Every structure is written in structure tokens, then in C-alpha cells.
Amino acid sequence: MDLTLSPAEQAFEAEVRAFIGEHLPADIREKVRLDRFLDRDDFMRWQQILGRQGWFTGAWPREHGGQAWSAMQTIIFNRVAGEMHCPELQVFGPAMVGPVLYTFGTEAQKAKHLPAIRDSSVWWCQGYSEPGAGSDLASLKTQADDQGDHFVVNGQKIWTSYAHFADWMFCLVRTGREGRKQEGISFLLIDMKTPGVDVQPIRMLDGRHYLNAVFFDDVKVPRENLIGEAGRGWTYAKFLLEHERVENANLRFITQELQKLRRVAGEVRSGRRRLIDDPAFAAEVAGVEVQFKALEIGLLRMLSDMHAGAPAGPGKSSFIKIRGTEIAQRITELLVQAAGPDGQRYQPGPLLGANDDALVGPEHALGPVPSYQFCRAMTIYGGSTEVQKNIMAKHALGL
């Protein structure tokens, strides 16, 4: 596979670099550079800047207002975004519900929701998991009673990332109890301001609030918010999960953290030498770099197939998810090692803005431990590694 950038791709890379250099707000770049936590306004400001350029949904087809980026352009964009300290993009709209809407939605649903995803004026969240229905998602119990022109939803979702920031949720609900458990599931869009929706925070080890439990108590959802046919939600849900797993390659994050690892390993001293001159540490850094290159090639192959109209396919997207999350975890482990004892200091002021305390110790030691802790979850959300391995065994190896 030839990975040399064509003149057009080189020009695109230069354009992305120049655009980010000119438009990424300095305060946001500084927060990302220092691993400080971002709030809703930070994410939205940057996404709306990208939206005005047409780049928040760059990979969407042109007929739906996208830029029809090639696989290589998508990779270039993420790589440069990582190098230049851009925030992680919230992919619930552009990479999850967006493709479901333009593939399965009605004209009215497309007209209502696609523009607001493209310009990032609306924040979406994902209501899939429930207590007792994570890996075994088809066991979900949240009930939607069909009342003709509307559904009445009762039940609970859990681990809903950023539900407290969200304007809308795409949600899996049960509308039927007959047949296989996958058959009675429907895909509903729920306005988070509807009476009866209650979002409760789940605080994390690092003090952050990004997870929630969401309760539904007689929530009235208009029928026009149903995607496709009632009872066929499992088909749309699986389509979405394949896109989600591609996003979980974590290209931007890995690029950013690898760059940091190389820099820190060149600055921090281990005894009389720099950490990068320690052969064992240098071999670890080289190891993750090589693995990352292989991941990029795998991702390029899969995205090229998808652009040519082939589905991501469950086995392939599972492979990308496993490698992308394991490499990201390994890099954060190495960053914790590089930070050494300085990294053990928990600093809620500089990290969360919880108080006005000044940063204590070197800048590079602030983020690695919270980042390491967060990355433990990467091999759980979007489908756990064990479950991805089962999918690969079945679809790729035919076991």
C-alpha cells in the first residue's frame, strides 16, 4: 500500500494546518495541551468553527452537505488535529446518528436534524446501555408504548456520556416482546427537554462529570421521531455501532499523546540520561509507534472500502476498535511512567477549574494519571474488547 501523500493530499494537509493555526482559540488549545478538562462551551465553540468550514462533517457525502473526504483526508485531518492540540470532536452527531439519519431517516427528519449536526448547534447523546443491557444490548428493557401518533417511554439508560450537555438523544427502546429479543427494538430520537426526562450525574474517579444515568417517566415522544420502521431498530443500531468502532481508532488522541510521549521522554531525566536514551523505554516508544503505523494502514484500508460503498463489516471494525484502544492505553501507561512521582499529585484546580490553585510541578505531569484512568474505559465503551474478540471470531474467522 502506497502511503505517500499525493500533491492534492499534501495541499489538503497544508490547508488543515493553516486553518487550525488561524482559527483554533488559544484558550482551548492551551487546555488540550495541558490535559485540562473541557466544558460544553469549549467543545461547541471549536465544533462550530469547524462546522462553518464544512469540516465537522467532512466525511459525509456531498448530497447531505458533507465534503466527501477520502479515507486519507479523514486520517490527515485527525492527525493534524492531534498534533495541533485540537479538542476531541463529539462524534455522537456527525459519526453516529448523522449517518443513520441520512441512510434510514425520512426527508422531514433529514431536513430537521442534519443541518444542526453539520453546524454543531445541537449536542446529541447515545441512549443504548441500561443496567443489565451493556454487552448484551438486545436485553434492553426501556419500554415505548405505541399510542398511535406518539410513544410513551418509561425506563432507564446508564453510562450516557454527556447527557447533561445534550439537546437530543438517539435511543433504543423496546416496542415489542414477540420473537427474538432483537426484533422488538426501535430507534427513537428524544428531545432531552421533554417532560419526564431526568438526568442524574455519575462522578468519576478523577472528579469529572461526563457520565450519567437517564430516567424516563411517561415521556411522550412524537411518532415522527421514530427512525425507519418500529421493531427494526436493531438493524440501525448495528449500523451505527460499526461507525462508532471506527471512531474508536482514536487517531487524533493517539497522535497527540505519542507526540507528547516523544517530547517528554526527550526532556525527563532518568538518572544521568534522558528517558529516551534508556534502551528499554526507547524500545517501548518505538513499539507503540510501529503499532500505530499498522493501525493507520488498517484504518485506511477499511475507510477506503467504506468510501467505495462496502460496509465497515463487524469483524473489521472490531479489529480497529481493539487496536486503537489498546495502543492508546499503552501510551498513557508510558506517560504515567515518564511523569514518575510528580504525576501522582492530584490537582483539581488546574485540571478541572475546581479552585484557583496554581499548577504544582512540571506541566507534563498534570494530565497523565487522569488520562490513564479515563483510558481504562476505552476497552469497555463502544463494546468491550472481549465482546469484540467474539465478533471477530465469528465474522472474520468463522468460528
Interface residues toward ligand FAD, by CB under 6 A: 126-129, 134-135, 159-161, 211, 377, 380-381, 383-384, 386-387, 390
Residue 163: CB minimum distance to ligand FAD, A = 8
Exposed, middle or buried: residue 53 (CB in 10 Å: 0-12, 13-18, 19+)? Answer: middle
Identify the three-state secondary structure at position 396. Answer: coil
Grid coordinates belonging to 59: 466525511
Grid coordinates belonging to 120: 454543531
Grid coordinates belonging to 304: 477506503
Q: Which is nearer to ligand FAD, 74 or 160 (CB)?
A: 160
Q: Which is nearer to ligand FAD, 104 or 381 (CB)?
A: 381
Sign of CA dihedral 97, 50, 248, 36: negative
Could you give the CA distance from residue 113 to residue 371 in angstroms, rounded to a whole number? 33
Residue 310: CB minimum distance to ligand FAD, A = 26
Could you give the CA distance from residue 246 to residue 298 in angstroms, rounded to a whole number? 11
Could you give the CA distance from residue 147 to residue 133 in angstroms, rounded to a whole number? 25
Residue 247: CB minimum distance to ligand FAD, A = 12
Which residue number places its CB atom closest to ligand FAD?
A: 134
Placement of cell 493553516 in the chain: 18
> Between the CA of residue 226 and those of 66, 123, 185, 219, 285, what are the distances in Å?
24, 19, 11, 14, 48
Q: Which is nearer to ligand FAD, 134 or 184 (CB)?
A: 134
Residue 161: CB minimum distance to ligand FAD, A = 3
Q: Which residues contact 327 (CB under 8 A, 6 or more apart)?
A: 250, 254, 288, 291, 292, 295
Q: Which is nearer to ligand FAD, 37 or 128 (CB)?
A: 128
Per DSSP (E only), the strands in 124-195 are 124-127, 143-146, 150-158, 168-174, 185-191
Q: Which is nearer to ligand FAD, 136 or 218 (CB)?
A: 136
Q: Which is nearer to ligand FAD, 67 or 390 (CB)?
A: 390
Residue 386: CB minimum distance to ligand FAD, A = 3
Residue 172: CB minimum distance to ligand FAD, A = 8
Q: Which is nearer to ligand FAD, 84 or 369 (CB)?
A: 369
Residue 294: CB minimum distance to ligand FAD, A = 24
